[in-house]
Amino acid sequence: MAQTIAMQLLTMLIYAAIGFILFKMKLIRNEGVKDIGKLLIYVIAPSAIVRSYILERTAQMTRGLVISFLLAAVCLAVSVVLSRVFYRGKRPIEEFGCAFSNAGFIGIPLVTSVIGDEAVCYAAAFVAQLNILQLSYGIFMMTGDKSAISVKKIATLPAVIAFVLGIIIYLMPFRLPEFFVNIFSALSGMNGPMAMFTIGAYFAQVSIKKMLTRFTAYGVSIVRLVIIPIITALVLWAIPLGSSTVRLAVLVLASAPVGANVAVYAQLYNRDYRTAVEEVVMSTVLSVATMPVIVGIFEKLY
């Protein structure tokens, strides 16, 4: 399993390299990267979530979905608390980056490749809750202003809408026509490559020399890729809920690198956007080494 994750991460880095080259050759520009990001947020990633719930409803599957929702909530709480412990609200970009992994754009494709399509439904609950936290507690981190939090924005998040729609589809007494299933499958298959194209384009805008000498990027990577995943693995081991498949899906998402949204929010709220990008890139590259090790520890525990 650990070797499979390593190979999949290397594949995703190749996708990132394509994005890097395209940006350097000016075949895509900042506007194009933003447009790809919008496609991911509003179409591709939600399609992957909806597709994950188009499956046969059984008592065992329903139980797994409920447990995955609960475990996701616990593990996200672990992430948020630990990020607060390390940064104490004094470094909002680093705290945001540690608290929120790249679960949607890197985690879900990894879960799909390593565990299978049937496990993505367990990941969907994690992604929906992570998005809600980003638009609430995450904004508070960046601004220190509770009034900036919008319940309306949270309710209309594409990931949240897709999660609710997926549950409705799962509970329906009939299966969607194959035509629609194929559309959702095709769109969800674009999630990994397109997400990594954007990471590669971010990388093309970073000074590698500055990134390698910025100690905060190493600190964020250690917390995000090592400390939080190890504590999460121990928590999942201590909570006797769910199959190993459910817990592995949650752990993969919790072990993913810094989410690209930290750069989006930093830019939106006038924080140091370049630093945020460097931390996203640094942790993404280092995750090729850390995630297989974390999964290996998981396999030993279970």
Distance CA 31, CA 39 (A): 12
Answer whether residue 95 shows pLDDT above 80.
yes
Residue among 245, 239, 50, 17 at smallest CA distance from 160:
50
Distance CA 225, CA 78 (A): 14
Distance CA 134, CA 102 (A): 12
| Residue 141 neighbours by CB under 8 Å, 6+ apart | 89, 92, 95, 96, 99
Angle formed by the axes of helices 273-301 and 228-238, nearest 10°:
40
Is-contact 43 153, C-beta < 8 A?
Answer: no
3 state DSSP class of 258: strand
Mean pLDDT, rounded, of the chain: 85
Q: Which tens digit of pLDDT belongs to each residue from 184-241?
A: 889 888 887 887 888 888 888 888 887 888 788 899 999 999 999 999 999 998 888 7
Answer whether residue 2 shows pLDDT above 70.
no
Distance CA 194, CA 198 (A): 7
Domain boundaries, the chain: 2-301
- 2-301 maps to which CATH number? 1.20.1530
Q: Which tens digit of pLDDT belongs to each residue from 260-285?
A: 778 777 776 777 777 888 888 889 88
Give the pTM.
0.84
One-letter identity of residue 249: A
β partners of residue 9: none
